[in-house]
Each structure stands twice: as C-alpha cells, then as structure tokens.
Amino acid sequence: MRADGDPNLIVYFGGQYVPMREAKVGILTHALHYGTGVFEGIRAYWSEDEQELFVLRAVEHFDRWKKNSGILHMNVPPAEELCTITAELARRNNLRTDLYIRPLAYKCAERIGVAIDDQDAFAIVAIPFGEYLHSENGLHAGVSSWRRIDDNAIPPRGKICGAYANSALASDDARRCGFDEAILLNESGHVTEGATCNLFMLRKGRLITPQVTENVLEGITRDCVAVLAQHELALEIVERPIDRSELYICDELFLTGTAVGLAPVVRVDHRAVGDGQIGAVTRRLRQLYFDAARGHLPQYRKWLLPVYGSGRVRQDAARMKEPSFA
C-alpha cells in the first residue's frame, strides 16, 4: 500500500502543529542529499468496539528512535513528550482509523558538504494507513540478489534514511520479477529479513529467527510476536543463522514489522512453503497479534497507549512490563 498525504493534515514540524502543506524543507537540506536522517515507524489501531485509538508500544518505539538518532549525533525529546505530541496529532486530526506514525529526525543544514554538524530537526506525521502488504492469502517472496548492508557500513538496526536505498533496490527488483516481497541475505549468505520486515520460520515445532547480529532491525513487532508465541502458544524461540535453502523446506514462514504486522509467506522463489497454504501457527499468531493491538487481550493492554479515553499520556500505559523474549 502507498499512503499519500493529505495537504490539510496537521503534522508536527518545526516545533509547531501545522498543515502538511506548510511543512517544507529546502532543496539543499543535508538529509535530502546525504541520507542523514533517522526515522521510526509506529502503528495505531482503531477499536470500533471501544471507540478508541490505541498506539502500539509507543514508548519502546520512541526510545529506539532516540537511541538510533544518537548514531548521527542527533537529539530528540524523551519518549513521554513524544507520546504526548503523537496523541495530540491524532486528536487534532480527529483520526479514528488505523494509522501509521512516522517520526523523522534529520540534519537540516542547507549546504553542500557531507560532514555532519549540530544542526538537526525533527517532525512527526500520523497518517491513515491500512494494509501495507495484502497478505490475506499469503505472500510469494523472492530471495534478492542485493545483499543486506553490514553494520560496519550503515547499521541496519539504526533505521537511517540512507540505508533504505538497500531496501528500495531489493523491493523494486522483487516486484519487477513478480514477487510480493524481497528476502535479503547478508554477506555471509545467511538469511536476514525482508526488505522492510523481520522474518520467522517454523521448523520441527520451533520458531526460528535470525539473531540481531545478522544485520537485521531489532524489531519491536518481532518482539511482540515472539512474546505471544512463548506465552500464548508455548513455542520455543530460537535465534540463529538461517540458510537460504531452509526457507524451501521449513514448515511455515512469515514476516513481521510495524507496517506489515504479521504477513504469512506461502511461496519462496517459486517453491511452496509447507503445503503452500497459511500454516496453523502463523494464522493463530496473526490473530493474537491483531487482537492484542486492538485491545482485545487484557494481558497485553500495557502495550497500548489510548488516545481518546485517557485524557493524558501515561508512560506505563505504553510499556509492557513483562520482559521481552530477547
């Protein structure tokens, strides 16, 4: 899915709430030329039953964004302040549907020259957003010829804007070849993740995902799904390198990410995964994830920040107290 912005949508830019049509940067902005920005992706889900908008694990997302911004010597406000801004954006726009929230920190000096300086800024946009990948019948993924960038080149865990040229190249190739999504290998030939999402496979009753040292994003949705698998399905989670050919012989395969949620993969490189249908474990985890995200599972309400009902932002409403799987 591509979500185009409404020019009248209120966004947070330059320390103010302004219409998107007024949120502009100059043509010489450093981040535009050199990729020196760091973004975050956050989901909010509308509950029709409760008439409430829930932001999913907002504090963890903003904490990650703040830490990643530090890689480029940029500073953003603390998570609680960012949660307040985000909730206010939703209220000012009267958004009562599923959202994608895009915080962006960027080097804002308008000049030529690659060296970074201390001029930076940040913005937050909350935009109505449905399915990123239409995966109700499962996806057909292809292993890309483009390799995942290495931590010592541009750290994939950092969500640095320039790094996403790697994802764009892989995604473009995949779609031109008739696939729904790309799967990237690292320079060692091991599976890393999709172009914009983490990867899990089920083999012999165990849920396996690459280690975070395999040049993958330390995904928050990845963590949600792993916690649900452990606590609700009693599945063992294994972090280890995955060979390409394991994708062809595994029992089930799926992708996780803020935009995609949980997306089943039923074919890889023109080969069926399992019986070529969405597997029982994948289907159950997908249901659990979206039930938790919409507030239907009381034990995971601590993951959710309510926008309309609470009247104020509370940090403990956005952070899950139980430990993550990793």
**Structure tokens of 220?**
């928050």
Encoded amino acid at 181, one letter: E
Measured from the Cβ of residue 105, the count of other Cβ atoms closer than 10 Å reads 27
pLDDT of 310 reads: 53
The predicted structure's pLDDT at residue 134: 86
Residues of the chain with pLDDT under 70: 1-3, 310-326
Long-range contacts of 82-87 (CB under 8 A, 24+ apart): 82/58, 82/124, 83/55, 83/58, 83/59, 83/305, 83/313, 83/315, 83/318, 84/313, 85/12, 85/124, 86/42, 86/55, 86/58, 86/124, 86/126, 87/55, 87/305, 87/307, 87/313
Are the beta carbons of 154 and 167 closer than 8 angstroms?
no
pLDDT at 326: 56
159 part of the active site: yes
8 Å CB contact between 55 and 294: no
The per-residue pLDDT for range 67-117, each reduced to its tens digit, is: 999 999 999 999 999 999 999 999 999 999 999 999 999 999 999 999 999
Predicted local distance difference test score (pLDDT) of residue 312: 44
Rg (CA), the chain: 19
Distance from C-alpha of 324 to C-alpha of 321, rounded to nearest angstrom: 9
CA distance 160 to 183: 19
The CA distances from residue 233 to 30, 229, 275, 282, in Å, are 47, 5, 21, 11
- Select from 231, 234, 238, 230 the least CA-distant residue to 202: 238
Report how far residue 213's alpha carbon sits from residue 98's, in angstroms, rounded to the nearest whole number. 32
What integer pLDDT is reported at residue 311 of this predicted model? 41
Cβ-based neighbours of 254, under 8 Å, separated by 6 or more = 199, 200, 262, 263, 264, 265, 282, 285, 286
Domains of the chain: 10-128 (3.30.470.10), 139-293 (3.20.10.10)
The whole-number pLDDT of residue 316 equals 43
Coil, helix or strand at residue 160 = strand
Q: Cα–Cα distance between 87 and 38 in angstroms, integer?
A: 21
pTM: 0.93
Buried b (16+ CB within 10 A) or exposed e, 237-256: bebebbeeeebbebbbbbbb
Handedness of CA 323, 57, 39, 73 (dihedral sign): negative
Is residue 220 within 8 A of residue 61, CB to CB? The reply is yes
Measured distance CA(203)–CA(13) in Å, rounded? 46
Q: Which residue of the set 67, 159, 204, 321 is catalytic?
A: 159
At 133 the pLDDT is 85
